Amino acid sequence: MTILITGATSGIGRSSAFLFAKNGYNLIITGRRVERLQTLKEKLEKEFRITVCTLCFDIRNANEVEQAINSLNSEQKKIDILINNAGLAAGLSSIQSGKINHWEQMIDTNIKGLLYITRLVSNLMIEQNSGHIINIGSIAGKEAYANGNVYCATKHAVDALNKSMRIDLLPHGIKVSSINPGMVETEFSIVRFEGDTDRAKKVYEGIEPLKPDDIAETIYWIATRPKHVNINDIIIMPLMQANSTTVLRK
């Protein structure tokens, strides 16, 4: 079995790479940080008896995405599972003070990047009349919260795409699922606050956030249901977070 994980250099994607490797899947891992991809490949291939292919590209660039997928050999193109995970939030500002470059970064990565790779990989899956696409949405794709505007909009778009790609791919035997997490402690908040680690730490202060492994385990469970079962959608939250905005801090 082969799984392609976008954004495997960190957080949820990296944890998922470990879990699927441990369970004998061959991996195609992507991201922009080439050294991290190479280190991860070496570690996974050494620890588990699997093969890992690295594809270094910026998912916002449709040509780079196409070149990367075209560079796979015919065996690697037999992708069983695509995890659409690469994504980010940039900033946390009101609509009237948001930065346009933040908006573009989020829209280009979370929506357009997901579309570019899904279009290419779904066509490969159609050729084999099977496959599974697992989209990483967010609680921000189910609810809006103050100053989350454009990030919430991109994740609402992922929610809509998850539903509509399931319809389009139904005749081709392709499963489509999504998982929508609340707070997971990864590099997410460091990226959102542009390297301000103190501010990022405060997001998780006084709570026990989800760990990337919690999400990886849930993705793995979704991916390993019997052939006739599809998990459409899961919302997964830390115990101390009731919804986007109601958080119990100790």
Can you give 162-207 as a three-state secondary structure string?
A: HHHHHHHHHHHCEEEEEEEECCECCCHHHHHCCCCHHHHHHHCCCC
**Looking at 122-130, 160-168, 169-177, 180-188, which segment touches ligand NDP (CB under 6 A)?**
180-188
Binding of residue 238 to ligand NDP (CB under 6 A): no
Q: Identify the residue among 29, 81, 139, 216 touching ligand 8X3 (CB under 6 A).
A: 139
Binding of residue 178 to ligand 8X3 (CB under 6 A): no
Q: Are 121 and 79 in contact (CB under 8 A)?
A: yes
For residue 37, the one-letter residue type is: L
We find the least distance from the C-beta atom of residue 168 to ligand 8X3, in angstroms, to be 25
Compute CA distances 61 → 6, 107, 116, 180, 203, whole Å: 14, 12, 8, 25, 31
Reported as type and span, the H/E element at residue 125 is helix 114-128
Active-site residue (options: 25, 116, 151, 220): 151
Q: Are 239 and 208 in contact (CB under 8 A)?
A: yes
**Looking at 45-53, 170-178, 181-189, 237-245, which segment touches ligand NDP (CB under 6 A)?**
181-189
Q: Identify the residue among 2, 16, 54, 109 touching ligand NDP (CB under 6 A).
A: 109
A 10 A CB-CB count for 236 gives 15
Q: Identify the residue among 60, 132, 156, 175 touching ligand NDP (CB under 6 A).
A: 60
Backbone phi and psi for residue 110, each to the nearest 5 degrees, phi listed first = -75, -30
* 151 flagged as catalytic: yes
- List residues binding ligand NDP (CB under 6 A): 7-13, 31-33, 58-60, 85-88, 109, 136, 138, 181, 183-184, 186-188, 191
- List residues binding ligand 8X3 (CB under 6 A): 138-140, 148, 182-183, 244
